[in-house]
Amino acid sequence: MYITRKNFTPQNVFLFTSCVSFLAWVFPSLDFLRKGFSEPYPLLSLSGLAYPVIIFFFYGVIWVGYHIIPVVNDNQKDTSSALLVNYNVYFASAIISFFGILATTFIISKSISVSDIISIYSAGKANAIKEGLYEDYSLGLVSLRYCVILSGSFAIYRRLMGEKNLGIDIFSLSSLIVVSMISSRLTLIAGVFGGLYLYIYTKKTIRIKSFKIIFIGGVVFLVLSALNWSRNSNFYEEKGLGFMSAGFSEILAYVGTPVQGALYAISNPDVGKQSYMQFYNESTIESALTTNSAILDVIRMFGVQGLLFAAVILFFSGLYISFFEKLKSGKYIYCNIAVFYSIAEFWRIFLFFQGIIITLISVSLLLAFFSRVRFRKVLG
């Protein structure tokens, strides 16, 4: 299996994640798996027919934005051996992540002791730690903890390129895992996604053997299942599910439910006027699930016009990614990680204006700016 720079584009990733979500939505429950909703919308309905049209419309919008900037001398510069993230940028991202983790630790320690944290994880109630912070994606000093996505991406990328800095690598990768355990699995997935994006862009073409895909998929499944079990083990034990079935059920519910949310919103454009209780009752989505499609998010905020709003954002996102891929032969491509990941996550949530994305974009642009500054010693 080959993955190329030409194929790993925002519109293709958008379509791929949307298709995976749809496949999870139609996957049978087998009478024991948790799907995240109880009554699927019929495909042969107005919303069922409109949904693929909307998805391909968004695909086209991203494609136009991504291709509007012409390629200049793309074949004249070989970046296959050039390291796009230098040591100074990597080190600076790790320092920022460190301050974010310090702030997070300080906030948590004000309400939860070390012994409480151990008890919480052993009891499988890790969500209680997240509740000790503020709202998941809001903007603030503690949101700097999400910069582990950048430092983690850089660590993965540089390791894949054969560039090793053991101390910073260990700190960056362990920080990525720790913040994932505290806040959200999204952090770990985003970090891995960012590292692979940088690597694919640099190498232009990578070959992945089937065995490696199965092995990596198995490892990812076990890691995500372990994180899920540490947060919700009591919930799954009450449903009679074990570690493996709970892990698969969580992925199935997490990935497939957003299609249900999108279909409901398309059928009920006044969803923004409904109470959350009414929405969950009518859509049959479990109330514990909160990321139920970006299409639902924008229709809830703006009605049907929200689809046009989303199209505009996706267009400029494609344009933004294309700009940094072509600027200085991709020297500042890491500025794309947050926006590209927002497109990849569009199937489940409208992330573009969330604090986590604003923080990552701001820090990325600052890293790009300061990487250009040359400091000179001034003698008095």
Q: Do the domain assignments include residue 201?
A: yes
Q: Which tokens in the block code for residue 94?
A: 């790790």
Q: Do the domain assignments include residue 380?
A: no
Per the structure, the count of domains in the chain is 1
Q: Domain containing 58: what range?
A: 2-370
Q: Tell me if 284 sits within 8 A of 72, measured CB to CB.
A: no
Q: Do the domain assignments include residue 19?
A: yes
Q: Do the domain assignments include residue 379?
A: no
Q: Do the domain assignments include residue 258?
A: yes
- CA–CA separation, 331 vs 138, rounded Å? 29
What b/e readout covers 316-349, taking b as 16+ CB neighbours within 10 angstroms?
ebbbbbbbbbbeebbbbbbbbbbbbbbbbbbbbb
Q: Do the domain assignments include residue 267?
A: yes
Distances (CA, A) of 293 to 252, 254, 259: 14, 10, 7
What does 309-342 look like in DSSP terms, one character per residue?
Answer: HHHHHHHHHHHHHHHHHHGGGGTTGGGGHHHHHH
pLDDT in tens, the chain (380 residues): 788 999 999 999 999 999 999 999 999 877 777 888 989 988 888 888 999 999 999 999 999 999 998 876 555 455 556 788 999 999 999 999 999 888 888 777 766 665 655 565 555 555 555 555 554 445 567 788 899 999 999 999 999 999 989 999 999 999 998 888 776 778 888 999 999 999 999 998 888 777 777 887 788 777 777 766 666 666 666 666 667 767 777 888 889 999 999 999 999 999 999 998 999 999 999 988 888 999 999 999 999 999 999 999 999 999 999 999 999 889 999 999 999 999 999 999 999 998 889 999 999 999 999 887 654 433 33
Beta bridge partners of 206: 3
Q: Do the domain assignments include residue 92?
A: yes
Stated pTM of the model: 0.86
| Residue whose C-alpha is closest to residue 303's, from 280, 272, 277 | 272
Q: Do the domain assignments include residue 55?
A: yes
